[in-house]
Amino acid sequence: MEETGEALVRLENVEKSFGEKTIIKNLSLDVFDGEFLTLLGPSGCGKTTVLRMIAGLESVTEGKIFLEGKDVTSLPAAKRDVNTIFQNFALFPHLTVWENINFGLKMNRIEKSEAEKRIKSALRLVKLTGFEDRFPSQLSGGQQQRVAIARGIVMKHKLLLLDESLASLDLKLKRDMQVELKEFQEKLKMTFIYVTHDQDEALTMSDRIAIMNLGHIVQLGTPEEIYKNPKNAFVKSFISDIDLINFKKTRMNRYA
Ligand SMILES: Nc1ncnc2c1ncn2[C@@H]1O[C@H](COP(=O)(O)OP(=O)(O)OP(=O)(O)O)[C@@H](O)[C@H]1O
Ligand SMILES: [Mg+2]
């Protein structure tokens, strides 16, 4: 087995082509245990494709993917200790909120009392206590999104992949959920790989950010590093709207 140091996830020279078109080009990335890493970049740059390859939902054309030091490049999704919350957060329409969140727990034969404890705690986190018996069609888009988040976190996998998971929430709820998700991730010492094209969200939540463009990582660093030393005009243009003083204040308030 190749040594990946303390990296929980390692992408080694990963490439992805759909037909003739190469979408991801020679991408290497280490994500460490307990880290909140964000993939930030414009629409179409390949963020979802990278997440899908880590989850095992998309094959890798070239290169390797390691999870906890183990080469999982050809391992099917079900055998990877990873949970994904997708952009379209497809819930089961015929199952209630409770049953939707319980689905994975049941499949994994988690003991009933433990499952109940986790579901209740997840419902509190996403502010949906009292909504247990509703069906997805009886919820707003934002509420459905929060059910999807709850469904992802109850599994307590080490690695959670989140694809634009807060995008459809209104601003106030989005800000609250950002703080709570971050607290949750730190408390459970989980590793999050978070996809967004919201720069403010990336800068305030992440330990490190990988700025992507056209299938490449253009710059990888802490929010401060990227903000202070954008590597090129693209990165600069991507984060230039943020006022640093305000940004620092927000971060300090949030995580004081
Ligand atoms: N199954 C597929 N077949 C062919 N092309 C695909 C497929 N999936 C994705 N692509 C292409 O790969 C590129 C990257 O797509 P991807 O969904 O990874 O982008 P993204 O960064 O997640 O964008 P967004 O922010 O809009 O969600 C796009 O040009 C897309 O059209
Ligand atoms: Mg996407």
Position 256 scores a pLDDT of 45
Q: What single letter denotes the amino acid at residue 151?
A: R
For ligand 1, whether the C-beta of 45 sits within 6 Å is yes
Are 36 and 189 spatial neighbours (Cβ–Cβ below 8 Å)? no
Helices (H), 56-195: 97-107, 112-125, 141-153, 171-187
Q: Are 69 and 12 in contact (CB under 8 A)?
A: no
47 lines ligand 1 (CB under 6 A): yes
Q: Give how many domains the chain has, as a whole number.
A: 1
Residue 137 lies in a domain: yes
Rounded to the nearest whole angstrom, what is the distance from the C-alpha of residue 50 to the centroid of ligand 2?
9
**d(CA 241, ligand 2 centre) in Å:** 22
Sheet bearing 7-18, strands edge to edge: 21-32, 7-18, 62-67, 70-71
Largest CA distance in the chain: 54
Inter-helix orientation angle 141-153/112-125, to 10°: 140
Which residue minimizes the CA distance to atom 31 of ligand 1? 44
Nearest CA to ligand 1 atom 26: 43
| Ligand nearest to the Cα of 41, by number | 1
- Whose C-alpha lies nearest to ligand 1, atom 18? 46
Cα-to-chain-centroid distance, residue 81: 14
Could you give the CA distance from residue 190 to residue 36 in angstroms, rounded to a whole number? 8
Q: Report which ligand 1 atom has the smallest distance to the Cα of 197.
A: 25
Q: 138 is in which domain, residue-wise?
A: 86-156
Task: Give the containing element (helix H, strand E) for 189.
Answer: none
What's the confidence (pLDDT) of residue 242? 59
CA of 237 to the centre of ligand 1 (A): 22
Question: Does residue 5 belong to any structural domain of this protein?
Answer: no
Closest CA to 226 of 251, 208, 212: 208
| 131 falls within a domain | yes
The rounded radius of gyration (Å) of the Cα atoms in the chain is 18
In a domain, 66, yes or no: no
What pLDDT shows up at residue 133?
98
Would 199 be classed as within a structural domain?
A: no
Determine whether the shortest distance from the Cβ of 255 to ligand 1 is under 6 A.
Answer: no
The answer to whether residue 119 is domain-embedded is yes
Q: How far apart are the first and last CA of the chain?
A: 41
Residues 151 and 119 sit within 8 Å (Cβ to Cβ): no
H/E segment holding residue 249:
helix 244-255
DSSP one-letter code for 90: -
- Please list, in sequence order, all residues whose beta carbon lies within 8 angstroms of the beta carbon of residue 34, skipping any fewer than 6 positions away: 186, 189, 190, 191
Does ligand 1 have an atom closer than 6 angstroms to the CB of 43?
Answer: yes
Of the bound ligands, which one is closest to the alpha carbon of residue 84?
Answer: 2
Give the H/E segment covering residue 55: helix 47-55
Q: Does 106 map to a domain?
A: yes
Q: What is the pLDDT along the chain (256 residues), one digit of tens a residue?
A: 444 557 999 999 999 999 999 999 999 999 999 999 999 999 999 999 999 999 999 999 999 999 999 999 999 998 888 888 876 677 999 999 999 999 999 998 999 999 999 999 999 988 899 999 999 999 987 788 889 889 988 988 889 999 988 887 788 888 888 887 888 788 878 899 999 988 888 888 999 999 999 999 999 999 999 988 999 999 988 787 655 555 555 555 554 4
Q: Which atom of ligand 1 is nearest to the CA of 215?
A: 14
- The confidence score (pLDDT) of residue 198 equals 86
Instruction: Collapse the DSSP code of 113 into the 3-class scheme (helix H, G, I; strand E, B; otherwise coil) and give the result.
Output: helix
Residue 249 located in a structural domain: no
Total-model pTM: 0.86
Ligand 1 neighbour 16 (Cβ under 6 A):
no
